């Protein structure tokens, strides 16, 4: 009665494990909270999110009385029922993302990319999309706290006035500030004012996820603080040394877009780019690679030198690089790569990941230099107004704190008690400070230990400004009054710098008086606010000269083994943990391992077998004295003997969503090598944890699901995708509908462009009021995402390739779901869409059973009933909020279709191509998803459906999906022998 097939890919939870294994889990759960207790915990967790809906007024004789409350004075420009769109900016570290915010009656509900802004180009990533939920998070800190007691901002102001008097005398002796890194003229101005005033004070910047090493490398080689900007849209050969530039590095949207631009195989003239990656844990970038080298992070340094050496052997002068021992590397790989790089001078790009040490960044920079890439595929810009993190400075500050030299410590953002390297023991250092202030979104680990806690205004509530990496200036303007009256960054910085309690608006305008010179300030200012950025404010490329001293090549470290593992930290979908209380992000499946609600110790199948651990088994990671209990998750493609752990989990007491989810990897972090180190052991604890993964089965079982070929195969046989399935002529027994008239909506998803980042999923969740269901429900297979991202492994178990496939409702013309619904709750409309009418649905779930794509989602409980008022504010008023017992699914954003159609008709025209974007299409950083009218011969979607790679998923069943896919193409180096790309599992 067991599944005998041991091939890992039948399921990463071997099927036969699964049963017994899941049964244990279930038993565990019964013990814990009874069969449905889990659901109660879910409830209570939603419960904490607020009170249940109360009907306005009492029940009248015939129906409940409903009030209509008009304005007293009608605000200008507000038309109730018509959404408004404003431009603003979200900054994350030193990157700035220009966004457009949709707002209904002054209530922001949706974030989209700003097409004019260079770092978003109209697209978004998961952090931008999810920020809207962050604004309405009921767990946000609302009150100023002083020594744990409630206080007021004014009390803090008077506190600070006293401090001012004290520090005015000694120029800030014993005063220290720890801030987040930022890139903002206003904040920089205020910081400088502060330091001018308190010349003896110290201001350090700390970020657990930082590109400090990159900046240091640039600084050492050029002697100037420059910001590199990578131009993937110009690179034919890309080498990523542990750099996940498509998802986690700076300004990844622009990077992904540029990369995708270079990856269009359909035009026979231009060639597709080729991506080489070397990394330990499978990253989104690695999944897109044509050649991925599995290698421990520490060895990447030596690899970089080996590559440099190989390049040098091709007659390029690389100063100061010495021979290095590369006996344990795949020579063939390195040689082929070197040839490619050498053959693409000025068109190649080497990028080192922010996790890598300075040395690797320097090698990458030198390689770019000698290959003539600098100025072409990578440019350097003055990093004005930017402050980068600095670990050394942090260390010295902490040392001073411990010595008691710091009487007043001000922590602006960040959460060092939680995320500063464990060996620095920030908490105890903090206790030595007489006065301490923490300014943050949540009453978090740090706030609880500081004397003062100041709640922080969300960026959608604040006035500020920011610079993109290339220097483009943009303004951050509030979409809504601060919900809890919290001060904004600018306001607090200003208070510290000047002692004056100014309005953010005035502060920012003050800065911009110098930016918008030459008169007509108001006009220019209004334009900036309208556009969301100052046009052409990007800084020019700096011509740089490298002065390369001899660089010591790293020695190979002690070889890895079962009791000498390499521990890797990587930035997760919670970033560094600041988004831990965001339910959308917690429930978003990890792009690679598909885990939700928690992190895990990722191991390669080989390592797991040798250590005899299975998915969900809780192990102890022992790094010297530090220990961390965390469940194991087997991740094919992980480098052997390396352990990867996502940062940002294991929070306590910050919010209903974040608390108790996952394990806190910072407990193992180490200030000398913050990103990875060796000498780690795993020991079993015997306990097992229920892991909420959304995809148990990683293989396609040889089914033609994701259709894939190499560039050459595609060129020689363009029709390959269609030819992968043979089927009889497709005829329906029902009379054919006529879809030749009017709008006929359709969608194309280019699997060659999709990087699997999940931005579409979050965008959809935000646009369509999709609830989160909590860990237990996800583990039961009840997640609600309308568009999911399927991840399949292809090829060898230990070193597979990955393909991503976003699947939403395929809007079949012959929809199997429709014919079986007993109450006609799901029917077709004349524009070819498969409508789902929630109010008519009685919840037989027959439609879902009969859906070959399993894209329908059922409300097993009343997930939306207990939202907090603030969460209700985040809902899109144009979309019904579904209650218990009804089926729901992707509608192609029918609310957007209707709005556009009505608008077009009233303007006496038809809807223009591109006028309607579905939420997923809009968010997609690589434009992999395109939507439009397939009846319009000139529309983009029609053009894409004409491409040879176009195929319909499960089209052989004559369901006639309106969605179709463009097959995936890889561009392997012919020199590296035949790849297993054709295998589909």
Partner 1 sequence: MAQIFPKWTNNIQTYIAAGAVFIVVAMVGFFWYYGSPWYTDVGYRPIQPVPYSHKLHAGDLGLDCRYCHNLAEKSVHANIPPTQTCMNCHAIILPESEKLLPVRESWGTKRPIEWIRVHKVADYCYFNHSAHLYAGIGCADCHGNVAEMETVMQVKPLSMGWCLECHRNPEMHLRPREELTNMYWVPPDKDKQLKFAEQVIKEKAIAPPQDCSGCHR
Partner 2 sequence: MSKGITDSGIIPGGEAPLIEKNPTFGSITEEISRITERKTPGVWYLALGAAVSLMFVLFGSIGYLVFEGVGIWGLNNPVGWGWAIINFVWWVGIGHAGTLISAILFLLRQRWRTSINRFAEAMTLFAVSCALIFPAIHVGRIWVVYWMFPVPNQMSMWPNFRSPLLWDVFAVSTYFTASLLFWYTGLIPDLATFRDRAKTKIRKIVFGFLSLGWRGGNRQWKHYELAYLILAGISTPLVLSVHSVVSTDFAISILPGWHTTIFPPYFVAGAIFSGFAMVVTLTIIARKLFHLEHIITVSHLEKMNKIMLLTGMMVGYAYSMEFFIAWYSGNIYEQFVFINRAFGQYAWAYWIMISCNVLIPQMFWFKKLRRSIPVMFIASILINVGMWFERFVIVVTSLAQDFLPSSWDYYSPTIWDISTFVGSFGLFFTLFLLFIRFLPMISMSEVKGVLPQADPHHAGGDRHE
List residues binding partner 2 (CB under 8 A): 1-4, 11, 15-16, 18-19, 22-23, 26, 30, 35-36, 39, 695-703, 705, 777, 780-783, 788, 790-792, 805, 807, 816, 819-824, 840-846, 848-850, 852-854, 857-862, 884-887, 954, 957, 959
Q: Which residue is it, tokens 């809902």?
A: 875
Closest by alpha carbon to 487, among 449, 461, 460, 450? 461
Shortest Å distance, C-beta 898 to partner 1 = 7
Q: Which does 872 bind (CB under 5 to 8 A by kind): partner 1, partner 2, none?
A: none
**In the bound complex, what is the minimum distance in angstroms from residue 947's beta carbon to partner 2?**
23
Spatial distance between the Cα atoms of 618 and 614, rounded to a whole number of angstroms: 9
Extract the runs of DSSP E, i.e. beta strands, from 153-302: 175-179, 182-183, 202-205, 226-230, 237-241, 274-279, 291-294
Residue 878 interacting with partner 1 (CB under 8 A) = yes
Burial 48-85 (b: 16+ CB within 10 A, else e): ebeeeeeeeeeeeeeeeeeeeeeeeeeeeeeeeeebee
Choose from partner 2, partner 1, none: what does 19 bind? Cβ within 5-8 Å by kind.
Answer: partner 2
CB atoms closer than 10 angstroms to residue 617: 22
Nearer to partner 1, 71 or 734 (CB): 71
- Residue 603's nearest CA partner among 7, 12, 24 is 12
User: 315 or 908, CB closer to partner 1?
Assistant: 908
Side-chain half-sphere CA neighbours of 707 within 13 A: 25
Q: Parallel, antiparallel, or unpaired for β 950-951 and 963-966?
A: antiparallel
Structure tokens at 13: 């939870």
Task: Evaluate the CA torsion angle 853, 856, 861, 865 in order and state its sign.
Answer: positive
Instruction: Report the partner that residue 820 touches, choosing among partner 2, partner 1, none (CB closer than 5 to 8 A by kind).
Output: partner 2
State both tokens at 412.
Answer: 């602006």
Residue 595: CB atoms within 10 Å: 25
860 binds, among partner 2, partner 1, none (CB under 5 to 8 A by kind): partner 2
Q: Is-contact 180 207, C-beta < 8 A?
A: yes
Considering only 80-88, 273-281, 344-352, 676-684, which stretch makes contact with partner 1 by CB under 8 A?
80-88
CB 821 → partner 2: shortest distance, Å?
Answer: 6
User: Binding of partner 1 at residue 481 (CB under 8 A)?
Assistant: no
Number of residues that bind partner 1 (CB under 8 A): 42
> In this complex, which beta carbon is closest to partner 1, that of residue 667 or of residue 827?
827
Contact flag: residue 107 with partner 1 (CB under 8 A):
no
Q: How many CB atoms lie within 10 A of CB 317?
A: 6
Nearer residue to partner 2 within complex by CB, 627 or 703: 703
Binding at 906: pick from partner 1, partner 2, none (beta carbon under 5-8 Å per type): partner 1
719 binds partner 1 (CB under 8 A): no
Instruction: Report DSSP letters for 309-327, one per residue.
Output: HHHHHTT---TTB-----T
**Token reading at 43:** 């409830």
- Residue 699 near which of partner 2, partner 1, none (CB within 5-8 Å, type-dependent): partner 2
Nearest distance in Å: CB 702, partner 2: 7
**Least Å from the CB of residue 748 to partner 1:** 21
Judged by beta carbon distances under 5 to 8 A according to partner kind, the member of partner 2, partner 1, none in contact with residue 157 is none
| 71 lies in the binding site for partner 1 (CB under 8 A) | yes
From the list partner 1, partner 2, none, partner contacted by residue 26 (C-beta under 5 to 8 A by kind):
partner 2
908 binds, among partner 1, partner 2, none (CB under 5 to 8 A by kind): partner 1
68 touches partner 1 (CB under 8 A):
yes
Residue numbers 944-973 binding partner 1 by CB under 8 A: none
**Chain centre to alpha carbon of residue 894:** 26
- Start-to-end CA span in the chain (Å): 24
968 binds, among partner 2, partner 1, none (CB under 5 to 8 A by kind): none
* Residue number with CB closer to partner 1 (576 or 888): 888
Could you give the CA distance from residue 872 to residue 109 in angstroms, rounded to a whole number?
Answer: 10
264 binds, among partner 2, partner 1, none (CB under 5 to 8 A by kind): none
Per-residue exposure over 815-852, b if at least 16 CB sit within 10 Å of its own CB, e if not: bbbbeebeeebbbbeebbbbbbebeebebeebbbeebe
Helices marked H in 852-891:
869-873
The smaller minimum CB distance to partner 1, of residues 107 and 828, is found at 828
Q: Is residue 873 a contact residue for partner 1 (CB under 8 A)?
A: no
Phi, psi for 126 (deg, rounded to 5):
-60, -35
Residues 441 and 581 sit within 8 Å (Cβ to Cβ):
no
The distance of closest approach from Cβ of residue 791 to partner 2 in the complex, given in angstroms and rounded to an integer, is: 8
Quick one: which of 4, 77, 81, 530 contacts partner 1 (CB under 8 A)?
81
The nearest distance, CB 216 to partner 2, in angstroms, is 43
Among 6, 60, 199, 938, binds partner 1 (CB under 8 A): 60
* DSSP per-residue codes, 509-576: HHHHHHHS-SS-HHHHHHHHHHHSS-TT-PPPPPP-------BPPPPP-SPPBTTBEEEEEE-BTTBT
For the window 795-834, what string marks contact with partner 1 as x by the rule CB under 8 A?
--------------------------------xxxxx-x-
Q: Which is nearer to partner 1, 59 or 612 (CB)?
A: 59
Q: Give min distance, CB of 901 to partner 2, in A.
A: 23
Q: Is 82 in the site for partner 1 (CB under 8 A)?
A: yes
147 lies in the binding site for partner 1 (CB under 8 A): no
Maximum CA extent, the chain: 91
By CB neighbour count within 10 A (0-12 exposed, 13-18 middle, 19+ buried), where does 625 fall?
exposed
Residues of this chain that interact with partner 1 (CB under 8 A) are 60, 62-63, 65-74, 79-82, 742, 827-831, 833, 835-840, 878-880, 891, 894-895, 897-898, 902, 905-906, 908
């Amino acid at each position: 009665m067991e599944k005998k097939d041991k091939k890992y890919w039948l399921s990463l939870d071997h099927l036969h494990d699964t049963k017994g294994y899941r049964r244990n889990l279930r038993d565990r759960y019964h013990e814990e909270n009874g069969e449905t207790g889990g659901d109660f915990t879910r409830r209570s967790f939603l419960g904490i999110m607020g009170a249940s809906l109360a009907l306005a007024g009492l029940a009248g004789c015939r129906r409940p009385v409903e009030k209509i409350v008009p304005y007293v004075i009608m605000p200008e420009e507000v038309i109730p029922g018509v959404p408004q769109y404003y431009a603003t900016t979200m900054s994350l570290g030193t990157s700035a993302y220009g966004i457009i915010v949709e707002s209904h009656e002054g209530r922001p509900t949706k974030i989209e990319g700003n097409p004019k802004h260079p770092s978003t180009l109209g697209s978004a990533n998961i952090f931008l999309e999810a920020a809207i939920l962050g604004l309405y998070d009921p767990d946000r800190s609302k009150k100023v706290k002083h020594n744990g007691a409630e206080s007021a901002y004014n009390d803090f102001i008077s506190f600070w006035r006293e401090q001012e008097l004290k520090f005015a005398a000694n120029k800030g002796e014993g005063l220290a500030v720890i801030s987040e890194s930022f890139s903002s003229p206003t904040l920089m101005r205020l910081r400088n004012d502060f330091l001018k005033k308190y010349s003896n004070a110290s201001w350090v910047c700390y970020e657990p996820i930082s590109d400090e090493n990159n900046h240091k490398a640039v600084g050492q080689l050029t002697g100037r603080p420059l910001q590199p900007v990578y131009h993937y849209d110009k690179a034919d050969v890309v080498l990523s040394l542990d750099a996940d530039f498509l998802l986690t590095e700076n300004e990844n949207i622009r990077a992904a877009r540029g990369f995708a631009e270079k990856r269009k195989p359909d035009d026979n003239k231009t060639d597709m780019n080729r991506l080489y990656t070397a990394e330990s844990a499978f990253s989104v970038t690695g999944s897109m690679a044509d050649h991925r080298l599995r290698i421990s992070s520490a060895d990447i340094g030596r690899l970089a030198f080996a590559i440099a050496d190989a390049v040098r052997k091709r007659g390029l002068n690389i100063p100061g690089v010495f021979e290095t021992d590369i006996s344990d590397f795949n020579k063939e790989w390195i040689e082929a790569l070197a040839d490619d790089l050498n053959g693409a001078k000025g068109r190649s790009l080497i990028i080192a990941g922010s996790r890598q040490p300075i040395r690797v960044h320097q090698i990458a920079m030198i390689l770019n230099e000698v290959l003539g890439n600098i100025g072409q595929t990578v440019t350097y810009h003055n990093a004005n107004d930017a402050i980068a993190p600095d670990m050394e400075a942090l260390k010295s500050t902490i040392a001073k704190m411990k010595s008691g030299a710091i009487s007043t410590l001000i922590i602006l953002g960040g959460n060092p008690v939680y995320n500063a390297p464990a060996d620095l023991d920030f908490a105890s250092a903090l206790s030595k400070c007489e006065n301490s202030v923490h300014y943050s979104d949540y009453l978090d680990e740090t706030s609880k230990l500081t004397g003062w806690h100041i709640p922080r205004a969300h960026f959608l509530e604040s006035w500020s400004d920011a610079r993109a990496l290339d220097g483009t200036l943009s303004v951050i303007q509030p979409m809504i009054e601060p919900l809890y009256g919290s001060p904004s960054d600018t306001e607090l910085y200003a208070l510290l710098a000047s002692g004056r309690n100014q309005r953010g608006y005035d502060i920012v305008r003050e800065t911009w008086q110098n930016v918008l010179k030459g008169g007509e300030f108001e006009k220019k200012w209004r334009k900036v606010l309208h556009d969301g950025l100052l046009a052409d404010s990007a800084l020019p490329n700096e011509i740089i000269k490298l002065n390369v001293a001899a660089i010591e090549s790293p020695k190979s470290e002690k070889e890895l083994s079962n009791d000498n593992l390499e521990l890797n930290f990587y930035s997760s979908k919670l970033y560094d943990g600041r988004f831990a209380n965001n339910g959308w992000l917690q429930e978003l499946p990890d792009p690679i391992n598909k885990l939700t609600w928690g992190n895990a110790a990722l191991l390669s199948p080989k390592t797991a077998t040798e250590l005899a651990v299975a998915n969900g088994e809780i192990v102890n990671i022992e790094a010297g004295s530090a220990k961390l209990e965390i469940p194991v998750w087997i991740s094919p493609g992980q480098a052997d003997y390396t352990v990867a752990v996502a940062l940002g989990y294991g929070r306590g007491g910050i919010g209903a969503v974040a608390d108790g989810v996952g394990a806190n990897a910072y407990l193992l972090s180490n200030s000398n090598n913050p990103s990875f180190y060796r000498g780690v052991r795993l020991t079993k604890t015997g306990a097992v944890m229920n892991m909420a993964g959304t995809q148990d089965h990683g293989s396609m079982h040889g089914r033609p699901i994701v259709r894939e070929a190499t560039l050459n195969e595609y060129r020689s046989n363009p029709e390959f995708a269609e030819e992968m399935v043979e089927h009889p002529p497709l005829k329906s027994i029902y009379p054919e509908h006529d879809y030749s008239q009017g709008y006929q909506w359709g969608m194309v998803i280019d699997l060659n462009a999709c990087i699997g980042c999940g931005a579409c999923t979050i965008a959809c969740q935000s646009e369509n009021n999709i609830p989160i269901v909590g860990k237990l429900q996800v583990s039961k297979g009840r997640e609600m995402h309308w568009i999911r991202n399927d991840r399949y492994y292809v090829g060898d178990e230990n070193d597979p390739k990955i393909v991503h496939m976003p699947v939403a409702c395929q809007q079949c013309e012959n929809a199997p779901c429709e014919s079986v619904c007993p109450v006609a709750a799901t029917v077709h409309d004349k524009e070819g869409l498969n409508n789902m009418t929630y109010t008519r649905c009685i919840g037989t779930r027959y439609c879902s059973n009969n859906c070959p794509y399993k894209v329908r989602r059922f409300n097993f409980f009343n997930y939306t009933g207990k939202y907090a008022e603030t969460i209700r504010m985040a809902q899109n008023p144009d979309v019904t909020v579904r209650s218990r017992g009804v089926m729901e699914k992707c509608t192609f954003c029918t609310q957007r279709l209707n709005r556009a159609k009505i608008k077009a008709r009233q303007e006496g025209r038809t809807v223009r191509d591109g006028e309607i974007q579905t939420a997923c299409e809009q968010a997609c950083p690589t434009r992999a998803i395109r939507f439009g009218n397939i009846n319009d011969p000139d529309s983009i979607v029609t053009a894409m459906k004409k491409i040879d790679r176009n195929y319909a998923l499960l089209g052989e069943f004559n369901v006639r999906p309106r969605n179709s896919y463009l097959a995936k193409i890889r561009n392997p180096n012919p020199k590296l022998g035949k790849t297993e790309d054709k295998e589909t599992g």
